[in-house]
Amino acid sequence: MNSSALYKVLNFIVCCSYAFIFKNKKSKLTFEHNQDLEILSSKITVMPDQCVVIDGVGVDLNEYSFSIENFNNPPIVLFAGRLLKSKGLEVLVDINKELTLKGNGFILNVAGIQISDDRDAISNDLILKWHDSGLINWLGQRNDIPSLIDECNIIALPSIYFEGVPRFLIEGAAKGRACIAFDSGGCSSIIKNEVNGYLVDKGNKDEFKTKLIALLSCRKLRNVMGNEGRKIVEQRFSLQQVYIKTKNLYREII
């Protein structure tokens, strides 16, 4: 996706390499979502029967069992992921700041992996500043994501990063939580707009705020969307289904 001169050169080299490799009709391409398939297919010639889409990484439906959300006042919004600016945490912070001034703020739980060697990283000082001011509840790096989802009301990922199919969104949907995200990468594979959450035009912060407020304001809406999200995960994103699809792909190649 990088448009700098260096990456344009690398892009050309990689595409030429792919085009050469996949002249072999026995070769297979596997993608995490259809958008990636469409992008590569626009750059090289590849036969449709060489392409396989395996949705995400899959989740254990027992570990991520459905749960009814708690009645939290104010509601709890959960963000989890690497602490990069492009993951969009600041969008949620700004919305919470604005709503708090109007007396309608929410609790923003943040569990994340801090990155020290990336220009896109959110600094530890800024995270602590947000925490100390009450705009976020900084939880640090956590390994108990199922319990964090149980405690929350909404799953949010305002990422403009070119996502695969974010595991965080799959996990949230599996637990029966309404999800909201920018339409970036494979987010549309798990979020069906107005069905199990909201999929917002990439980078449209005003629309994101409007849709988030709609979720914050209506528990019934969240519950309906949460039920639909669980169905989607059961149909397409279970660990067992991903395992079977991957095994079948290797069997076909062998």
- Structure confidence at residue 56 (pLDDT): 81
Coil, helix or strand at residue 11: helix
Q: Which domains does the chain have, with CATH numbers?
A: 5-53 (no CATH), 76-236 (3.40.50.2000)
- Quick: pLDDT tens for 177-213: 999 999 998 999 999 999 999 999 999 999 999 999 9
What pLDDT was estimated at residue 1? 66
Q: How far apart are CA 101 and CA 152, in angstroms?
A: 22
How high is the pLDDT of residue 145?
A: 96
Condensed to tens digits (0 to 9), the pLDDT of residues 225-238 reads: 999 999 999 999 99
Supply the pLDDT for residue 184: 92
Helix, strand and coil percent figures for the chain, each rounded to 5: 45, 15, 35
Residue 247's pLDDT is: 94
Cis check: omega of the bond before 158, within 30 degrees of 0: no
Which pLDDT band holds residue 253 (cuts at 50, 70, 90)? confident
Which residue type does 75 have? P
DSSP strand pairing (178-182 vs 29-31): unpaired
What is the C-alpha to C-alpha distance for residues 230 and 105, in angstroms, rounded to an integer?
Answer: 27
Reduced 3-state DSSP string for 184-197: CCCHHHHCCECCCE
Strand partners, 53: 31
50-81 pLDDT, tens digit per residue, is 999 998 888 999 999 999 999 999 999 999 99
With CA atoms as reference, report the closest residue to 233 among 31, 64, 35. Answer: 64
Would the pLDDT of 39 be above 90?
no
pLDDT at 25: 85
Instruction: Decide if pLDDT at 46 tops 70.
Output: yes
As a whole-number percent, the residues of the chain with pLDDT over 90 amount to 78
Mean local confidence (pLDDT), 166-183: 97
In this predicted structure, what is the pLDDT of residue 163? 87
In this prediction, residue 57 carries a pLDDT of 84
Phi/psi of residue 193, nearest 5 degrees:
-55, 130
Angstrom CA distances, 77 to 22, 70, 97, 110, 129, stand at 44, 12, 14, 9, 19
C-beta separation of 149 from 117 below 8 A = no
pLDDT, tens only, 107-157: 999 999 888 888 899 999 999 999 999 999 999 999 999 999 999 999 999
| 26 Cβ neighbours under 8 A, 6+ residues apart | 253
